Amino acid sequence: MSKLHHIAAARALYQRTRGEHFALGAFNIDNQETLIAIMRAAAAKQSPVLVQLSAGEVDAIGLTNARCLVDNYRTEYGVEAYLNLDHAPSVAAAKAGIDAGFEFIHIDFSQAKKDASLAEIIAATKEVVEYAKTTGALVESEPHYFGGSSNVHTDAIDYDTIRQTFTVPSEAKAFITETGIDTYAVAIGNLHGTYPVPKQLDLELLEEIVAAAPAAAHFSLHGGSGTPAEQFEGAVTRGISKVNINSDMRKAYRMTLEKVLAANPTEYAIVKLMPEVIAAVQAVVESKIDSFGSAGKTTKHGHVAEHNSIDQEAFN
């Protein structure tokens, strides 16, 4: 499947999310094992998925390497999987993702410049939207820095503080209209990372945002880790098309790896330690897919090939 066909398939799938009331899970990868877990979950659930990398992960893996890995695994597992460049901190970084054939691009200009003015953010976003026309990639943005970090936090969530940065429906409409983006990242109580208490989303506010926005707009939910399943279900039925997950996967990976290492103190063949770790991350991804309503939503045109028999000796 060519790069343009990948993007056409991604656009068709994304359009279905609103009419069929499901969301695409966007799952970060730190390494090949995490990618295998995502692909196995997608195959098991017959769910389309987005594989995403933010700046640190791009530095570790590389844009072209990520493109090749995802294409290879989607062929082997016969799944519908696309690439999202998450939180690209500059116009140049976003353009590099477009050039590498990523189907989804998130320009987060205020990540690197937290004091960026609204005018600067709009200008940067419009430049990426225009450049994305070269491939048809879908562009996501938002008008302010998004809080938290992809980690396991021990402090409580200060809702009085984060409410000050909640999305204002009229402002979301204006931003979407002026920039021409495909996806707006809402702030309705979601934060990057996990916290000691479950996150609570303002679903009534989400309804107001969706109602105020242009009809063709899509909406994403960043910081999905640590959110109860019923909150996801409420968000999806109200118009969320994409949910980002990272910290829950990282936590499962590390905790399981620590357990496996403790149980195998004399094993130095790392590949032999990975099966249980991969399975733990896969379980997280599968649970999110269920919450997002995307199980069984894979379409034939999104497959590169039917599932092939894979030699899994290294990981099983």
89-98 pLDDT, tens digit per residue, is 999 999 999 9
Q: What pLDDT was estimated at residue 226? A: 84
How sure is the predictor about 218, in pLDDT bands with cuts at 50, 70 and 90?
Answer: very high
311 in a domain, yes or no? no
315 in a domain, yes or no? no
CA distances from 121 to 91, 117, 126 (A): 10, 6, 9
How sure is the predictor about 114, in pLDDT bands with cuts at 50, 70 and 90?
Answer: confident
Q: What pLDDT was estimated at residue 112? A: 81
The pLDDT tens digits for 144-195 are 766 655 566 667 667 777 777 789 999 999 999 999 999 999 998 777 666 6
How sure is the predictor about 306, in pLDDT bands with cuts at 50, 70 and 90?
Answer: very low
User: Total structural domains in the chain?
Assistant: 1
Residue 34 has pLDDT above 50, yes or no: yes
Q: What pLDDT was estimated at residue 164? A: 76
310 in a domain, yes or no? no
Show which residues are catalytic: 86
Q: What pLDDT was estimated at residue 194? A: 60
Q: Which range of residues forms the domain containing residue 87?
A: 3-302
Residue 1 has pLDDT above 70, yes or no: no
Residue 72 has pLDDT above 70, yes or no: yes
What's the mean pLDDT in 102-129?
94
245 in a domain, yes or no? yes
214 in a domain, yes or no? yes
**Higher per-residue pLDDT: 113 or 4:** 113
Q: What is the CATH number of the domain that holds 132?
A: 3.20.20.70
308 in a domain, yes or no? no
Residue 291 has pLDDT above 90, yes or no: yes
How sure is the predictor about 76, in pLDDT bands with cuts at 50, 70 and 90?
Answer: very high
What's the mean pLDDT in 190-205?
76
Residue 25 has pLDDT above 50, yes or no: yes
Residue 311 has pLDDT above 60, yes or no: no
- Whole-structure pTM value: 0.90
Nearest 5°: phi and psi at 117?
-80, 160
Q: Which of 131-145, 148-162, 296-310 has the lowest mean pLDDT?
A: 296-310
228 in a domain, yes or no? yes
Percent of the chain at pLDDT > 90 equals 76
How sure is the predictor about 313, in pLDDT bands with cuts at 50, 70 and 90?
Answer: very low
